[in-house]
Amino acid sequence: MGDDITECLEEKTLIIANHQSTADVPLLMAVFNTKKAVLSNIMWIMDRLFKYTNFGIVSVIHQDFFIMAGKKSREQSLQDLIKHLLKSYIPRDRKWMVLFPEGGFLRKRKAVSQRFAAKNNLPVLNNVSLPRVGALQAIMHTVGPQGVANNNLNPVDDNIKKNKLGWILDITIAYPKGEPLDLPAIILGHKSPCKTTLFYRLYRCSEVPQETEALTQWLYKRFEEKEKILDSFYKTGNIPVEQYSSNPIPPHVIAQDCLRFLILHVFFITSTYVHLQMFMAAYEYYNYLMY
């Protein structure tokens, strides 16, 4: 529900979303799966830890970006992100890019975010955490409206110009009662079915400020609005769409292609089995060499 995103389906778009649990990524994948030629043309920005999971090799081949958490590696990660955009996102002609500006799950970031907010006279948030602007700024300064002209990593040519971002799609993920699905629930399916709501707000990149301070305030404002949106949703079960969307489309239920889902599940089950066999073979070979 929310803004009509038809305009950005075929254009370069940065997606920013609140991050509550492991379920956020497969949920977004399920939504994007219903939109033609979107899922295969997305570049995901994710924690480096996921590189070593069973789908990590798929993400490596797909050339998603793995960002390192922590203060010590933050600056280097941002420089690596810029290089990745120029060497992978643009040459491979990706359309969408997914970023979680909070930098981690809400349950892990909430206390730190609230202490930082109280110390710096910023709004203390409960339903989201204060976002980090570093990755967004790196993206905007590299493939935003001003694009590569802001750096000297690559010459400005027609190919780069046509690959600049046109839109920012802000997605608010709202789980019933603020209780997101977790990894055990996804794997075991022991939770009752629930309806998860996604609220879309679409912005032209040309209307988003470029300067660091102004961009930071713009991003903070989006998450302050998410806080209010989620607060209303948790209390009433509804999102005040008209208050945050000037021309909203009617809400609709996402319908999945069951055959496609079956094929994907078979692929990942097979992938998990193959990885397990590889580890077992390596372990047995190690024991053979030792004894």
Q: What is the CATH number of the domain that holds 244?
A: 3.40.1130
pLDDT (0 to 100) of residue 173:
95
Residue type (1 letter), 201: R
pLDDT (0 to 100) of residue 203:
95
pLDDT (0 to 100) of residue 159:
59
Let me know whether 19 and 60 are in one domain.
yes
Question: Rounded distance, CA 20 to CA 175, Å?
Answer: 9
Let me know whether 28 and 118 are in one domain.
yes
Question: Rounded distance, CA 49 to CA 223, Å?
Answer: 25
Let me know whether 167 and 200 are in one domain.
yes
- Name the phi and psi angles at 249, rounded to 5: -95, 155
Let me know whether 246 and 278 are in one domain.
no
pLDDT (0 to 100) of residue 160:
60
Strand-strand pairing, 167-174 and 96-99: unpaired
Let me know whether 174 and 286 are in one domain.
no
Give domain status of residue 51, yes or no: yes
Let me know whether 14 and 43 are in one domain.
yes
Let me know whether 233 and 210 are in one domain.
yes
Let me know whether 69 and 113 are in one domain.
yes
Model confidence pTM above 0.85: no
Give domain status of residue 272, yes or no: yes
Question: Rounded distance, CA 26 to CA 24, Å?
Answer: 6
Let me know whether 84 and 135 are in one domain.
yes
DSSP 8-state secondary structure symbol assigned to residue 150: G
What does the block give as tokens for 290? 């030792």
Which of these, 113, 239, 255, lies nearest to 171 by C-alpha position?
Answer: 239
Let me know whether 248 and 188 are in one domain.
yes
Give domain status of residue 49, yes or no: yes
- Give the sheet arrangement for strand 96-99, strand by strand: 65-67, 42-47, 96-99, 13-17, 167-174, 197-204
Parts of the chain with a pLDDT under 50: 148-149, 152-153, 156
Give domain status of residue 284, yes or no: yes
* Count of C-beta atoms within a 10 Å radius of residue 196: 16
Whether the CB-CB separation of 142 and 85 falls below 8 Å is answered with: yes
Let me know whether 121 and 195 are in one domain.
yes
Let me know whether 52 and 32 are in one domain.
yes
Write out the H or E segment, with its range, that includes residue 14: strand 13-17
Give domain status of residue 1, yes or no: no
pLDDT (0 to 100) of residue 286:
86
Three-class DSSP category at 4: coil
State which residues form the domain around 135: 6-254
pLDDT (0 to 100) of residue 209:
93
Residue type (1 letter), 219: L
Question: Rounded distance, CA 285 to CA 291, Å?
Answer: 10
Domain count for the chain, please give it. 2
Long-range CB contacts for residues 28-35, cutoff 8 Å, separation at least 24: 28/98, 28/171, 28/173, 30/254, 30/256, 31/198, 31/254, 32/96, 33/256, 33/257, 33/260, 33/261, 34/254, 34/255, 34/256, 34/257, 35/9
